[in-house]
């Protein structure tokens, strides 16, 4: 029964304005979230993206192929009622940000991390007035609480839809700063994803690639791009 999936029952998906935003209809039936709430999203572009996902289903509905629908469901059912809790989870990433923890050796990896990651720390300082401290090795480094608060302040102001996507950007990359960089589009999402994979890619270049790890990383890379796109289409 684990392979069961609902069959496609509609002819076409379409969008229309609705109270609070825009909704998607399967023929005349409005979509609802798994919790039964109306699936109403803030922009017509996001609604159109969700409609395209539903129209792309063939005989059966495959949720794994519908990232925008999944994130919209999460925004409505999970993030909206727990907004403060989600912000708190993301704030913790700033305290242990990937970009703050550097290798002690070898020197070429140390230099590569500095070359690739320091510009993002510089950007965050210019953009948010927040400079994170850097350490080598695994010993924790205490971050300035004011710097962390400046990084978290715009997160608190995000709508549930943007916050749902931002959560994925941060959780997948392991970095609050990389999440902000992707959300603000300062570089293409594939470039920011590559920065989050700097250590793993360096190790793979030195010792060879593990096929299973490569497949898992590819899935996460696609999810990261989907999250950035959802964020851009939301308000």
Output the CATH code of domain 81-233: 1.10.3580.10
33 contacts 225 by C-beta, under 8 angstroms: no
d(CA 46, CA 60): 23
CB-based contacts of 77, cutoff 8 Å, min separation 6: 33, 34, 35, 37
pLDDT in the model for residue 42:
98
pLDDT in the model for residue 4:
60
pLDDT tens-digit readout, 115-166: 999 999 999 999 999 999 999 988 889 999 999 999 999 999 999 999 999 9
Fold of 1-58: ATP12-like (3.30.2180)
Q: Using CB atoms within 10 A of its CB, is residue 189 exposed (0-12), middle (13-18) or buried (19+)?
A: buried
Q: What pTM was estimated for this model as a whole? A: 0.95
pLDDT tens-digit readout, 57-116: 999 999 999 999 999 999 999 999 999 999 999 999 999 999 999 999 999 999 999 999
First to last CA, the chain: 38
What is the DSSP annotation of 135-178? EESSS--PPPHHHHHHHHHHHHTS-HHHHHHHHHHHHHHT-HHH
pLDDT in the model for residue 1:
39
Q: Which residue has the tokens 């996902």?
A: 53
Domain boundaries, the chain: 1-58, 81-233
């Amino acid at each position: 029964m684990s392979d069961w999936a609902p069959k496609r029952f509609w002819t076409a998906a379409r969008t229309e304005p609705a109270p609070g935003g825009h909704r998607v209809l399967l023929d005349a039936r409005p979509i609802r979230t798994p919790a039964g709430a109306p699936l109403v999203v803030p922009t017509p572009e996001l609604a159109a993206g969700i409609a395209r996902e539903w129209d792309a289903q063939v005989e059966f509905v495959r949720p794994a192929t519908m990232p925008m629908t999944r994130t919209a469901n999460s925004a409505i059912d999970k993030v909206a009622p727990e907004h403060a809790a989600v912000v708190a989870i993301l704030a913790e990433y700033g305290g242990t940000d990937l970009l703050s923890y550097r290798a002690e050796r070898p020197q070429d990896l140390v230099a590569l991390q500095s070359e690739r990651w320091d510009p993002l720390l510089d950007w965050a300082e210019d953009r948010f007035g927040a400079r994170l401290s850097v350490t080598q090795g695994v010993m924790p480094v205490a971050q300035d609480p004011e710097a962390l608060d400046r990084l978290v302040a715009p997160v608190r102001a995000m709508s549930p839809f943007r916050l749902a996507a931002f959560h994925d950007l941060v959780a997948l990359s392991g970095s609050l700063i990389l999440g902000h960089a992707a959300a603000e589009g300062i570089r293409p999402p594939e470039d920011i994803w590559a920065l989050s994979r700097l250590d793993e890619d360096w190790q793979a270049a030195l010792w060879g690639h593990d096929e299973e790890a490569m497949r898992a990383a590819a899935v996460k890379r696609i999810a990261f791009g989907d999250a950035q796109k959802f964020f851009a289409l939301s308000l």
